[in-house]
Amino acid sequence: MAAALGGLGLLQGRVRLAAAAAASSPLRRPGPRGLVRGGAACSPAGKGYSSEAKGEEELRVRYLEEENQGIVVLGLNRSRAKNALNKNLIKMMSKAVDALKSDKKVRTVIFRSEVPGIFCAGADLQERAKMHSSEVSSFVSKARATINEMANLPVPTIAAIDGTALGGGLELALACDIRVAASSAKMGLVETKLAIIPGAGGTQRLPRTIGVSLAKELIFSARIVDGEEAKSIGLISHVVEQNESGDAAYRRALALAQEFLPQGPLAIRVAKLAINQGMEVDLVTGLAIEEACYAQTIPTKDRIEGLLAFKEKRPPRYKGE
């Protein structure tokens, strides 16, 4: 498995070569330049939680077990500050993401809140008010880098939005591959109310998600939308009615993660890479990227196991090799 996943590192270089080859082709069409590098209730839904999380931690990291093995849940837990992003929480998130990206047993990561009614209120403005202007720039840079690292995790990521996600909180969710929200959740990039702009990817990821014109409208107006409207404009993939436990979005996110578990783990990682890189370039270059990525799946043991399982009419037993 280590050798197979190590090949994914080499794949980054091959993807760049594929893009360069496509760029030199006379059939290449104009496109973007280059490639990007790249709950509410504290009681868990379902079985299989490990007991590693401690109640006082502002970020709870849980590795699920049993039938959910391979799913990791990162739970924001700053109840006294509505999960606002401060220096310590950003540091903890960075450390957790750094560990996850090199953990070959991780299959999907879910970001959620363990504070009822809130996902993340954005930056900690009380802490921000005490910062010198130079400190503000440094903090925003660190937050942006951490959220970028989240976006670049090699496995699927899901944001479970069971409450309010404003400013940096929504930027965190935008960095995830999939967003699920309760219909009662509130979302918005509200920075212009404070005479600043989104600084952790919001001005870039929101237009890529819902379109340029609508993204401008929402950012210019600092408008807040609920789950239903968020679904209608494409900001989230799924909207669910909130339940009595306040964790409906998390439960839906967990169900999605369970759908990913039976699939080939290397294939999912390579598929994410192909999609992420391909969306930043023109179609011809993107197809070259897909070709380079597909080639990486051909020599794997998992591919042979998939064919054998199909022939024998049984579920495949993938090992990530």
Catalytic residues: 123, 168, 171, 191
- Residue 307: DSSP 8-state: H
Distances (CA, A) of 218 to 80, 101, 169, 206, 225: 28, 32, 15, 9, 9
CA angle at 38 for the pair 285 and 263, rounded to the nearest 5°: 85
Amino acid at 7: G
How buried is 54 (Cβ within 10 angstroms: 0-12 exposed, 13-18 middle, 19+ buried)?
A: exposed
| SS3 at position 222 | coil
Q: 17 forms bridges with which residues in the sheet? A: none
Crossing angle for the helix pair 265-278 and 2-24, to the nearest 10 degrees: 30
* Cβ neighbourhood burial of 156 (10 Å; 0-12, 13-18, 19+): buried
Helix extents (H) in the chain: 2-24, 87-101, 125-129, 133-151, 168-174, 202-210, 212-221, 227-232, 248-260, 265-278, 283-297, 301-312
Phi and psi for 78 in degrees, rounded to 5?
-105, 70
111: its two tokens: 């970001």
DSSP string, 100-113: HHT-TT--EEEEEE
